[in-house]
């Protein structure tokens, strides 16, 4: 596992606090629902296009989620900075 894999949980916690501060609403339930939906879609796509392999599925799933979580974090961070200015 890489260092980025361990940063996903603290970044999710930061997203929670930033979203509550900005919108008075936590985005965590929406992100978790999206993660689950994305996992189901990815599993179906892998099953239809090739033989389904757990190791490949979890590597692709976790890396894409890392990217999505970081993008959400930076968008919220920029939005918060712009609101302060």
Predicted confidence (pLDDT) per residue in 31-85, tens digit: 999 999 999 999 999 889 877 888 889 989 999 999 999 999 999 999 999 998 8
Tokens of 2: 């890489």
User: Is residue 83 assigned to a domain?
Assistant: no
Asked whether the predicted pLDDT for residue 23 surpasses 90, the reply is yes
4 has a pLDDT exceeding 70: no
pTM, two decimal places: 0.86
**66: in domain:** yes
Residue 1: pLDDT band (50, 70, 90) is low
Residue 9 counted as domain residue:
yes
Is residue 57 assigned to a domain? yes
pLDDT of residue 53: 86
Q: Say how many domains are in the chain.
A: 1
15 is in which domain, residue-wise? 3-77
Report CA-CA distances (Å) from 63 to 13, 22, 80, 81, 83: 18, 27, 26, 27, 30
């Amino acid at each position: 596992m890489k260092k980025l894999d361990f940063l996903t949980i603290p970044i999710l916690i930061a997203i929670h606090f930033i979203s509550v501060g900005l919108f008075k609403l936590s985005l965590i339930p929406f992100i978790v629902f999206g993660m689950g939906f994305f996992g189901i879609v990815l599993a179906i796509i892998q099953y239809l296009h090739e033989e389904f392999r757990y190791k490949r599925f979890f590597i692709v799933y976790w890396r894409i989620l890392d990217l999505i979580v970081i993008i959400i974090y930076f968008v919220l961070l920029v939005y918060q900075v712009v609101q302060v200015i």
